[in-house]
Structure 1
Amino acid sequence: MAQRILVFWRDIPAQVIVRAGRRTARRTLSARFQEAIDRAAMRAGLTGTDAYLAAWRRSDPEPCGEDPEAEADRLAAEIEAAYPPERLRRLVVAGGHEPMDEPPSNRETSRR
């Protein structure tokens, strides 16, 4: 069974990984996500390498469809749509953490 994993810097998604046996598909999200991560890190004062690297995490693996390439494309598109510019801006202002006033459905998307 294939499994998907999301890579985050704090609560900002950066990459999708889907594994099915020996096959792995990876999708780096668009540049606006890395730009948001960099701005949030600066805002949070995490400019040192160790502090910046310590904020990266992976989600727990979750089952998904069996075609890693298709699943990675689908999930990356879903995340891109779930994070409009205003949501990323709020994450930057909060130092990379999901604001607690965010609707639960949006908070859950960011933790998948």
Structure 2
Amino acid sequence: MAEFNILYWQAIPSLVEGKDDDGAHKIQLSERFQVLIDHVAMKSGLAGTDAYLDEWTRGQPEQRDGTAEDVAKAVAEELEAKFDDIRTAELAKL
């Protein structure tokens, strides 16, 4: 059993971290997530400001069966598959 946590900028995921008794495993999501974060930040007037940094949060820890690495990979793959929906939802807010 491993615990995982997602790092978000606003509602946009950026990184998945899995933890178990053997340690932690982090997976940075693909560059397109960071491009989306930067775009939304610029359009919101938050790029390069302390307010930008204040928008980073960690989601609630959740648990899944598997190792930290396997869980982090699975969650990252799920988020990658949802990118278009995440992008559409975030751009609709602008």
With normalisation by structure 1, the TM-score equals 0.76
The separation in 1 between residues aligned to 2:3 and 2:89, in whole angstroms, is 30
Stretches of structure 2 lacking an aligned partner (at least 5 in a row): none
2:40 aligns with: 40
Partner of 1:52: 52
Q: State how far apart, in whole Å, the 1-side matches of 2:68 and 2:40 are.
A: 30
The alpha carbon displacement at 1:90 in A equals 3.7
Instruction: Name the counterpart of 2:17.
Output: 17
**Are 1:39 and 1:92, in contact at CA under 8 Å, matched by a contact in 2?**
no
Give aligned-pair identity as a percent: 35
Q: Distance in 1 between matches of 2:93 and 2:22?
A: 38
TM-score for the superposition, normalised by structure 2:
0.89
Q: 5+ residue gaps in structure 1?
A: 96-112
Number of residue pairs aligned between Structure 1 and Structure 2: 94
Aligned: 1:77 with 2:77: yes
Higher fraction of strand: 2
Give secondary structure in 2 for the equivalent of 1:73.
Answer: helix
- Report the equivalent of 1:61: 61
Contact kept in structure 1, 2:20 and 2:67, CA below 8 Å: yes
Equivalent residue letter for 2:32: R
SS of the equivalent of 1:57 reads: strand
Q: Distance in 2 between the 1:15 and 1:24 partners?
A: 13
Aligned to 1:88: 87
C-alpha distance in 1, partners of 2:15/2:26? 7
Q: Is the 8 A contact 2:2 2:20 kept in 1?
A: yes
- TM-superposed CA distance for 1:87, in Å, is 3.8
Provide the C-alpha distance between the structure 2 equivalents of 1:39 and 1:92, rounded to a whole number of angstroms. 9
Q: Distance in 2 between matches of 1:92 and 1:69?
A: 31
Q: Secondary structure at the match of 2:18?
A: strand
Amino acid of the structure 2 residue aligned with 1:59: G
The one-letter amino acid of 1:73's match is K
